[in-house]
Structure 1
Amino acid sequence: MATLMGKRILVIGGSSGIGLGVATAVLDKGAEVVIVGRSQEKLQAAERALAAVGKVSTFVADMTQEAEIARLFAGIGGLDHLVSTAGTPPPDYPIGDTDLNVVRGFIDNKLVGAVLVAKHAIRTLKKGGSMTFTSGINKDKPPVPGGSVVAAHRRVVRLFRACAVAGTGADKGQRGVAGLGRYTHVHRTGRRE
């Protein structure tokens, strides 16, 4: 396994939950971490908690807002790796009671946000770097109620992987993309693009 010592890693959704766990783990391995989230307060709390472990900085951005994502990547410089654990809980009510605004928010967060992040991150990703997007257990074990939206999301994950392959040139051997369980991983090989 490659070392993370001295690597710069961006963790979107890093102020709590799995993202905070990822940030802690990579700091323990000697990486520098930038954590991104929507809540300044949660980011500040996470930064205080992680400061004793290693070098950490924060950035407030909503991954569904392209201007904020563009500002994020314009402001942070080069990255070795990106991990996105950001997510919104799926709707938890029967299809007959579906609130389309909640469904749109869920899709914006899990698909549109991931596409926006990948679009802007690829410009700052260093040779040998990677992007990893998590989708969560719900795509494999849809909740009841709410499973219909999650089942649709499962197809969205496959669409995102296909777009990543085509959009990154992996289909031409320029970068590799692997769908591994509950996440999609995009690897930058550094070949000419």
Structure 2
Amino acid sequence: MRKQRVAIIGGSSGIGLRVAERAIDLGADVVIGGRDAEKLQRAASKLGPASRVLTVDNVDQDSLRRFFEQAGPINHLFTPGASYSRGRIDKASDEVAESSFRSKFWGQYYAVKHALPYLDKNGSITLMAGAYSVRPAAEGAAYGACNAAIEGLGRALAVELAPIRVNVISPGTIDSDLWRRQPDAIREASFSSYGEAALLKRVGTTDEVAHTVIYLMENGFMNGSTLYPDGGFALR
């Protein structure tokens, strides 16, 4: 990965930030994008001179277009950034039901579209879905369907864009700063419930997911695959 450039939409915190750190450790430059300028600057201070930050809104195609124009040539794209809500089909508003598709599915679809003019033809794209694709929660049918759709998108894009490689990660519950901002009681209950469901009896770490993303970037024979860093959650 030395002397390559990695673009990460959603790279100012959590899994995206940890991928940026690992990529820099391997000799890459990173361009990270997000909505919150203050968070981006904090990430830049942490990552150092091998990083560049740009504001981007992944539900705005003009914003995505400008992001890649400013980022310039890239070798790898990772798209974990999304903002959405979920709820039962008989209780959720249309806005909540559609939010995961709007931000997580279409946000990644259009990120890929606008990245293509700048992406190395031997480069890679890693999309972010989630283990609810194969083991849906009781509340959030649209969210489960969205994750399954992203996995299908990854396979279809691998066929459509070859030799550019396209893969998907579908993590389970991960102990990230997003969870750390939740009240202790909610976080602990969620982690306990996930631990009961997963074969490894615990939630994952951002480092474990980042390791999976870097593997997909570096392994030149991985294409059209979905990997589940979920502790065996999908198997129960």
TM-score range, shorter chain: 0.7 to 0.9
Counterpart in the other structure of 1:104: 98
Is residue 24–residue 50 contact of structure 1 (8 Å, CA) maintained in 2? yes
Taking the TM superposition and a 5 Å limit, the aligned residue runs for 1:90-169 are 90-91=85-86, 93-146=87-140, 148-165=141-158, 167-168=160-161
- DSSP-derived class of the 2:3 partner: coil
d(CA) in 2 for partners of 1:97, 1:19:
32
- Could you tell me which runs of 5 or more consecutive residues in structure 1 were left unpaired when the two chains were aligned: none
Select 2:38's aligned residue among 37, 41, 56.
41
Counterpart in the other structure of 2:70: 75
Select 2:61's aligned residue among 42, 45, 66.
66
d(CA) in 2 for partners of 1:18, 1:117:
18
d(CA) in 1 for partners of 2:220, 2:113:
13
* Structure (1 or 2) with the greater strand fraction: 1
d(CA) in 2 for partners of 1:69, 1:176:
21
After superposition, the CA RMSD in angstroms is 2.6
**TM-superposition CA deviations, 1:24-76 (whole Å, max 9, x none):** 1101111101011111111111111111xx51010100111100011111122
Q: Select between 119-128 and 178-187 the one with higher mean Cα deviation.
A: 178-187
- Could you tell me which runs of 5 or more consecutive residues in structure 2 were left unpaired when the two chains were aligned: 172-211, 222-236
d(CA) in 2 for partners of 1:112, 1:31:
28
* Residue 23 of structure 2 is aligned to residue 26 of structure 1: yes
d(CA) in 1 for partners of 2:220, 2:60:
24
Is residue 84–residue 103 contact of structure 2 (8 Å, CA) maintained in 1? no
Is residue 80–residue 128 contact of structure 2 (8 Å, CA) maintained in 1? yes
d(CA) in 1 for partners of 2:46, 2:166:
33
Percent identical pairs in the alignment equals 28
* Count of aligned pairs between the two proteins: 178
